[in-house]
């Protein structure tokens, strides 16, 4: 296997590990956020999403989520910890 093939395989592995497929991103993130909020005991007050393509790429984009939650400080910290540790699977 030459270096070009190795680089392609490494790039594909990186994308599959750290990026969500666009067709599943919204639903997977919705589930992860909902589970984290429920486990932390905070109240979901709504979310909005926006998608923007990444300039120079035909396949990558950035999903921005604006979310509103209500809870105690301790519960919000627990929620953030759960979101931080989420792996997107």
Q: Measure Cα distances from 6 to 15, 17, 19, 50 in Å.
A: 14, 16, 20, 34
In-domain check, residue 77: yes
Residue 71 or residue 1, greater confidence = 71
In-domain check, residue 78: yes
How far apart (Å, rounded) are the C-alpha atoms in residues 64 and 8? Answer: 28
Please report, to the nearest 10 degrees, the dihedral formed by the alpha carbons of residues 63, 64, 70, 73 taken in order. Answer: 100
Strand (E) or helix (H) holding 43: strand 43-53
Q: How many domains does the chain have?
A: 1
Q: Which domain, by its residues, includes 52?
A: 20-85
What's the burial of 79, exposed, middle or buried (CB within 10 Å: 0-12/13-18/19+)? Answer: buried
In-domain check, residue 40: yes
In-domain check, residue 7: no
- Percent of all residues in the chain with a pLDDT value above 90, rounded to a whole number: 44
In-domain check, residue 2: no
Give tens-digit pLDDT for 16-59. 888 888 788 888 888 889 999 999 999 999 989 898 998 998 88
């Amino acid at each position: 296997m030459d270096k070009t093939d190795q680089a392609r395989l490494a790039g594909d592995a990186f994308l599959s590990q750290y990026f969500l497929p666009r067709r599943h991103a919204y639903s997977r993130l919705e589930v992860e956020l909902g589970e984290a909020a429920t486990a932390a005991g905070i109240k979901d007050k709504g979310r909005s999403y926006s998608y923007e393509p990444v300039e120079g790429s035909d396949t990558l984009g950035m999903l921005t989520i604006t979310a509103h939650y209500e809870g105690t400080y301790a519960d919000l910290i627990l929620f953030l910890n759960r979101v931080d540790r989420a792996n997107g699977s």
